[in-house]
Structure 1
Amino acid sequence: MSQIPKIPRRIVTGIKNGRSVITDDAIATNVSEHFPGLIISDIWATSQMPADLSTEIIVENTAFPVVPANGSYFRYVSIPPDKDLGIKPLEAGQVHPLMHKTATLDYIIILSGEIYMILDEEETLLKAGDIVIQRGTNHAWSNRSDTHCIQLAVLLAAN
């Protein structure tokens, strides 16, 4: 089994007596392991745009996010190798078992490792530093390497 990365530290800023301050500095507590080794931490969400800077929404940590209408979602994901999830290489015509679709515009940054983004008709290998603009498409993530892939995603409610 590959090494599981650490849980992210979350630092939140705010205003106190008219001055900028750190209001929270701790290891993220909203962390789950929906599949063995698949670490998801939903760091922050908003329920409207423009965002209300004085409000924190408690995010229910789910495998497939539900973004509030007119809101946003900030997610840290550490995806283990497929073999650690029990996912075997796909044969022609097979659908990846984690294929899903969300009604969101997603900005995804690969921080470390590598991963295949699988779509209905094609796939591409993503490496650290790559950025994906996902526009409500059916997709899955397939980690065919021996180490975790860490990605950050900002999901925005979309029509």
Structure 2
Amino acid sequence: MRTIPRRIVTGLRDGKSIIEQDEIVSNVSEHFPGLIISDIWSTDSTPAKFEEKVIENTAFPNTPKNGSYFRYVQIPPDKDLGVIVTEGEPHPLMHQTDTLDYIIIISGEIYLIVDEEETLLKAGDIVIQRGTNHAWSNRSDSPCIQLAVLLDAEKTEK
């Protein structure tokens, strides 16, 4: 699978649908070796507007108020990232965002870690990540590729 995705964007011209863009994505970042992130598209309102919104990639997203991100992520094996997990300690990449995330595992496998447990995800699995503290741990020998849609959300405590 290609490391950097191709993006095709449709539009309208004279009332007819067209392909406005067909290109390899140029906003790709590597925050850690092998951790490839590309924020493919972004919106800053609901309902969304059709104008182009490509944003700077960040390791941990700052989704626009009432907006969304569409994100491509390639996560290398933990050993290639230099991630060291200490027994009894939180995973060093634990984080939390104020977003509702729809995440699809495209290839490879990865562990989703939350405060109290973890689960192994494989290609085709879908995660609905609802603003919880979490981390990703790739304990395999191959990269894991995810696609994610992150929606701005408001936290509710239980």
Query: AA paired with 1:38?
Result: L
- The answer to whether residue 32 in structure 2 is matched with residue 35 in structure 1 is yes
Task: Name the residue aligned to 2:64.
Answer: 68
- Regions of 4+ moved over 2 Å: none
- Counting only pairs closer than 5 Å after superposition, residues 90-101 of structure 1 correspond to structure 2 as 90-101=85-96
Number of aligned residues: 154
Q: What are the ranges of 5 or more consecutive residues in structure 2 without an aligned counterpart?
A: none
Mapped partners of 2:2, 2:116: distance in 1: 32
TM-score by length of 2: 0.95
Mapped partners of 2:149, 2:6: distance in 1: 17
Q: Provide the secondary structure at the position in 2 that maps to 1:94.
A: coil
What is the aligned counterpart of 2:146 among 141, 147, 151?
151
Task: Name the residue aligned to 2:11.
Answer: 14
> How far apart are residue 91 of structure 1 and its match?
3.6
- The answer to whether residue 75 in structure 2 is matched with residue 79 in structure 1 is yes
Task: Name the residue aligned to 1:102.
Answer: 97
Query: AA paired with 1:59?
Result: I
TM-score by length of 1: 0.94
1:89-129 C-alpha deviation (Å, 9 max, x unpaired): x3431111111000000000000000000001100000000
Q: Is the 8 Å Cα contact of residues 3 and 36 (structure 2) preserved in structure 1?
A: no
Q: What are the ranges of 5 or more consecutive residues in structure 1 without an aligned counterpart?
A: none
What is the aligned counterpart of 1:126 among 106, 121, 126?
121
Q: Is the 8 Å Cα contact of residues 74 and 153 (structure 1) preserved in structure 2?
A: yes
> How far apart are residue 60 of structure 1 and its match?
1.5
Q: What RMSD over aligned residues (CA atoms) do the two structures have, in Å?
A: 1.1
Q: Provide the secondary structure at the position in 2 that maps to 1:109.
A: strand
Task: Name the residue aligned to 1:57.
Answer: 53
Q: Is the 8 Å Cα contact of residues 80 and 148 (structure 1) preserved in structure 2?
A: yes
Q: Is the 8 Å Cα contact of residues 5 and 78 (structure 1) preserved in structure 2?
A: no
Mapped partners of 1:15, 1:78: distance in 2: 32
> How far apart are residue 9 of structure 1 and its match?
0.2
